[in-house]
Amino acid sequence: MTVAAPVPVPNTPTMRDSSGFDRLIYERVRLGIMSALAMNDQLTFNELKALFNVSDGNLGAHARKLEEAGYVACTKSFEARRPKSIYRITVLGRKALLRYLEHIEAVIKATRRV
């Protein structure tokens, strides 16, 4: 019995490295944050927390990673003496998300051809 050689995943024109896979966005909560912000002008911390049913600490850690990478921007203020954090996706973040989605689409297309 012969085993077929692995089929390489096709590269998309906008990939920035050989793997084309942004590990920062790959994680479930971070991908969710990026996707939600791509569909909404802005979301508060509590709105994001409700969407993904995660703890404050978990969401804060993931949001901070995305902010440090320049993928999201956070504006902090107070409303009725309570802290309010508002998140928006940046231009860099939108490009990174689109690059990630192109890579996933290429993987799906390559898999369907097999």
Summarize pLDDT for 17-65 with one digit per residue, the tens.
555 568 899 899 999 999 999 999 999 999 999 999 999 999 999 999 9
- Per-state percent for the chain, helix, strand, coil, to nearest 5: 55, 15, 30
Report the pLDDT value the prediction gives residue 12, as an integer from 0 to 100: 38
The end-to-end CA distance of the chain, in Å, is 18
Is residue 10 scored above 70 in pLDDT?
Answer: no
**CA gap 7, 14 in Å, rounded:** 20
Highest CATH level, class, for 23-109: mainly alpha
Burial class (CB in 10 A: 0-12, 13-18, 19+), 63: buried
Report the pLDDT value the prediction gives residue 102, as an integer from 0 to 100: 92
Is residue 8 scored above 70 in pLDDT?
Answer: no
**CA gap 43, 88 in Å, rounded:** 7
**CA gap 90, 67 in Å, rounded:** 9
For CA atoms 7, 11, 16, 21, give the dihedral sign.
Answer: negative
Report the pLDDT value the prediction gives residue 18, as an integer from 0 to 100: 53
pLDDT in tens, 63-101: 999 999 999 999 999 989 999 999 999 999 999 999 999
- Domain locations in the chain? 23-109
> Is the full-model pTM beyond 0.85?
no
**CA gap 111, 89 in Å, rounded:** 30
